[in-house]
Amino acid sequence: MSGLDDVHVIGGGVAGLTAAALLARAGARVTVYEHHNVPGGCAAFYQRDGYRFDVGATVVNGFGERGIHRRVFGALGVELAPDPVAPAMAVHLPDASITRYGDARWIAERRAAFGDDAEPFWRAQERIADRVWSFAAGLPVLPVDLRSAAHLARVFRAEHLPLLAMQGRSIASLIPRDASRRLRTFIDVQLLITAQAQARDVDLAFGATALDIAREGTYHLPGGISDIATALARAVRTHGGRIRYNTDVVRIRTGRRGVEALELRGGERIAANRVVAAIPYENVLGLLGREIPSDLRTRQRWSAVTAYVGVAPGVVPDDAVLHHQIVFDDALPLGEGNSAFVSISGAGDRARARNGGRAITVSTHTDVGAWETARANGTLDARKREYAARLHRAIERALGTRVSPEIFELGTPFSFERYTLRHRGMVGGTPQMRASANLLARSHRTGVRGLVLCGDTAFPGQSTVGVTLSAINAARALGAVTV
């Protein structure tokens, strides 16, 4: 790639910034167009009255020995040294609280929680995950086409062959038929935050890996997960790229030769024949002027309701677990306030909270259609109050004490739509189900020459780790990018 090549990146989240930084490092003249005034997208931050909140994603992974962030940052010359967090999280079920360790303590914990009869499941899960992590280290490109087949042949080894036989199976196929409700609920709620679906639907290989995040390592950054995006934005600029904040792309113009131009809000038109769309696929279709098919098997499913909470010093013990999952009633569907995810800033993290307090982000999955209905029929305020109460209760369950916040602000699907422009405020990306994961995932290839896709609606899927691999694949498709 010569220094005269221009690449335009739509979206300044982790995926877009990763692709932009790698392309800039390879010699491209890169411009990123970001709607918001800070980098990160759903892994960004906002500040209020001395508190700094992660707006969406909160769990930092990918910095272990085989971690993809560690690998990318090394290639970019970026220094970011997160501290390991142990344990990874606590999962609070109606009848038990289970600590999710990432080391040998997990074996004793799961045996105490689920019994020895569940051990064959956990051992099989870890064997599959080890194969997937090994395969992922080769930075695979899926689904396969002629261009990616040669690369896949180089990284695919005999030990990965069992993964082929798993396509079409769900992670539920590993669970013993007589498994307890406690085990099933634990697995389902873990998969809900990592795969956007539950065991009966989640692809076996993806599900086994999603359940293995704690073993790969969980980390803490002093500014929160948004430090990843901030570091990537710095790398874009260091390697000669630029980021235009408060800038919206409103149309991708195409012709017989593929992408021709981008149109920005305000009327500016920019000639462009190499474009990375680091936004949801549904948004890409909108920019191309196309309808979203009703039978789109890889469509997004969920949005989130999120509370941003600041608490005074002493409310959270210094040795408290930083991440918690809550299930209030295991006889009811998960999500919609019946399950929640709570993340707490670290003790002494002055970048996140004033005067020794703590910044807390707590969220629950939600059906965006119900929020659209509430806005239409005038019950939106009542719905907000209901969800605020549910999320407040989740924090108190996680901490085991009454909490009187210094600050409590609620984000809804409309908040995500406003600040990130994601289609209908959907977050989490494509659910990793049997019909939409791995070999059946959406490719970074769009069918439009010069236009590639990355982010949580392309292979391999959600999380900053997943979207980073998608960004690498998109960047490689446009130039001589090495990681």
* CB of 362 closer than 8 Å to CB of 307: yes
Query: What is the model's pLDDT at position 62?
Result: 95
Q: What percent of the chain has pLDDT over 70?
A: 99
Is the predicted pLDDT of residue 94 greater than 60, yes or no?
yes
Query: What is the model's pLDDT at position 341?
Result: 98
The length of the chain is 483
Residue whose entry in the numeric block shows the structure tokens 């490689």: 476
Condensed to tens digits (0 to 9), the pLDDT of residues 15-54 reads 999 999 999 999 999 999 999 999 999 999 999 999 999 9
Residue 247 CA to residue 34 CA, distance in Å, equals 6
Taking Cα atoms as reference points, which of 458, 426, 465 lies closest to residue 441? Answer: 458
Q: Domains, the chain, ranges and CATH?
A: 6-82+223-298+428-478 (3.50.50.60), 86-216 (no CATH), 301-425 (3.30.519)
Q: 246: alpha, beta or left, given left = phi > 0 and alpha = psi -120 to 50?
A: left
Is the predicted pLDDT of residue 435 greater than 60, yes or no?
yes
Query: What is the model's pLDDT at position 397?
Result: 97
What is the DSSP secondary structure assignment for residue 271, as one 8-state letter?
E
- Torsion of the alpha carbons at 97, 99, 100 and 106, rounded to the nearest 10: -120
Is the predicted pLDDT of residue 2 greater than 60, yes or no?
no
DSSP string, 91-143: EEETTEEEEE-SSTHHHHHHHHHH-GGGHHHHHHHHHHHHHHHHHHTT---SS
Look at residue 83 and give its three-state secondary structure. Answer: strand
Residue 342, token pair as written in the block: 């709570």
